Amino acid sequence: MNQDSTLSGDADRSDTRPILIIPYMWIGDFVRNHTVVRVLKERWPNRPVDLLTTSLCAPLVDYMPGVREGIVWDLPRGRLAVARQLALGKLLRERNYGTALVLPRTWKAAIAPALAGIPERVGFVGEFRFGLLNRWRWGEKKLPRFIDKNAALAQPDGAPLPAEWPVPQLRVPADDILRWRQANGIGAGAAVALAPGSVGVSKRWTYYPEAARLLVERGLEVWVVGGPAEKGLAQEIVAAGGPAVRDLTGNDLRNGVLAMAATGVAISNDSGLMHIAAALGTPTMGIFGPTSPYLWAPLNGLAATVVQDKSVLSCQPCQSTVCKMNDHRCMRDIAASEVVTIAQRVLGEAGARAQT
């Protein structure tokens, strides 16, 4: 018999014990995690699914269909925080989870589910977590993409990967978007949202200020969306584009979700906001430099993938945080005029679809 009892097949549909997912907590990875939720809900529609989340990612849970609740619990990245782990374990025990899927390979991610005594604790072998997990999975390195590694944990052990995974979904009610527009003094017209930030400077495209200026010259409103780390970039973009450019960066990720839901097209680096926009169904342009679109683009698909021709730049993708070969040409050689032309085409196509 397979070592996973409730994760070994679809026979027991009477099981109503809740499932907890311990996800990766980077914003883009957290959005990707909704695929895992959808796989579980397709197999066990009667088992509630909860997500452990940080305060930063918590707003995303409100827009994820199929998620019962987000358990907001901030743990420090650089230390064990024993008291916090013990308190989290107590909280999880009180919720009577039947299964925990531990997506990260770290030892620390598996502590609280073990302290809670969750009967099935599923995860890949990693960091000698023997005793913390009790439903081991092997073969992680053979799985090609990050999403394959995560979503495979929601399948029976040894099951083949599907041809396509269910894509992440974020659903924002139209009334929420209307209230957001009113609160920010934004009319109903189409705009282009720029997401200039990313985790890692090497993934940041060079010419957002120039692109903003060109978009404004073509009569388009421009929003700059991001967190507090992007405030300086937003100021540069506003200075280049003038009063038609709005700085919408801030501390609350919910603001970024609503902006991406309201915009006509999003232009983004390989970042969390790219995944948010795509999961919302917003036409999204992803600009890729050192990272591979195959590995890291949203499952939802992009309206346009902007990347250098490999025949011109053979070192791409390198996955490196620091360019050691050609002074970041993978980003510097993508012209602002090229991106703006693509954005206009994407807007036109979206408008044509809306009229049919």
Say if residue 209 is in the same domain as residue 272. Answer: yes
Domain of residue 267: give its range: 177-355
Q: Is residue 159 part of a domain?
A: no
Of 121, 154, 187, which residue sits at a domain end?
154
The per-residue pLDDT for 150 is 96
State both tokens at 116.
């809670």
Say if residue 191 is in the same domain as residue 130. Answer: no
The per-residue pLDDT for 311 is 64
Alpha carbon of 260 to those of 66, 156, 252: distances in Å? 21, 35, 13
Q: What is the pLDDT of residues 293-344, one digit of tens each?
A: 999 999 999 999 999 877 677 788 887 877 777 678 888 999 999 999 999 9
Scored b (16 or more CB within 10 A) or e, 133-151 reads bbbebeeeeeeebebebbb
Q: Is residue 144 part of a domain?
A: yes
Percent of the chain with pLDDT over 70: 95
Q: What SS3 state is found at 256?
A: helix
Of 154, 188, 207, which residue sits at a domain end?
154
d(CA 115, CA 65): 29
d(CA 122, CA 6): 11
Number of domains within the chain: 2
Q: In which band, very low, low, confident or very high, does the pLDDT at 15 lie, cut at 50, 70 and 90? A: confident
Report the predicted TM-score, pTM, of the whole model to 2 decimal places: 0.93
Cis peptide before 317 (omega within 30 of 0): yes
Say if residue 195 is in the same domain as residue 148. Answer: no
Scored b (16 or more CB within 10 A) or e, 168-206 reads bbbebeeebbeebeeeeebeeeebbbbbbbbebebbbbb
Q: Is residue 2 part of a domain?
A: no
Say if residue 195 is in the same domain as residue 338. Answer: yes
d(CA 153, CA 120): 12
Of 154, 187, 203, which residue sits at a domain end?
154
Q: Please name every residue paired with 305 in a beta bridge, in sequence order, or none if there are none.
A: 286
Q: In which band, very low, low, confident or very high, does the pLDDT at 129 lie, cut at 50, 70 and 90? A: confident
